[in-house]
Amino acid sequence: MPLSGMLTCGSCGARTQMNTMRYNLSGSKLICQGCVEKERSSIKPGTTHATSIRLQREQMQQKMRVTGRADNAPETAGLQQARAAGAAAAGEGGEGMVSYYCRMCHFKFSRKKDAEVNACPYCGRESVSQAYEGKAQDLIEEASGEEGELFSR
């Protein structure tokens, strides 16, 4: 069922069709397509935003409207990663999986060994580290062993 009706843009105040309105980058208000383009053009290339997943989702939806399919869409990979993280959290993960965590938001997730992980799927920041799978005592013993080697030289 198509959306009909007019809404007022939260940024410029223009009256616009409801189905063309989108949330602004902070997700706090609905804005018209012109204001969306202004906001997105102000983002510097190479920076990450917590809303990058939302932008990818909107791009995928637009591509699906035009082509009817979403192959090679960035969100498709994001959905697969989110499913893999959910499966790993439910204990369905296993061999061939690597655990990661985000140093900024502390989100924990798992990916296949061959998957390239650049950014956190939760916050979108490029602050992901591989999680340590061992015990704390192992780290202490390893560090004390290295100290002994350093002092024996």
Residues 45-74 have pLDDT tens digits of 666 554 556 666 777 777 777 766 555 444
DSSP 124: -
Give me the chain's average pLDDT, please.
75
Please give the backbone phi and psi of residue 62, each rounded to the nearest 5 degrees, phi first.
Answer: -65, -40
On the question of pLDDT at 1 being above 50, the answer is no
On the question of pLDDT at 148 being above 70, the answer is no
Predicted confidence at residue 62, as pLDDT, reads 75
Distances (CA, A) of 144 to 56, 131, 135, 140, 152: 46, 21, 15, 6, 12
pLDDT tens digit string along 18-51? 888 888 877 788 899 999 888 888 776 666 554 5
- 129 closest CA partner among 153, 106, 97, 95: 106
Q: What residue ranges do the domains of the chain occupy? A: 1-42
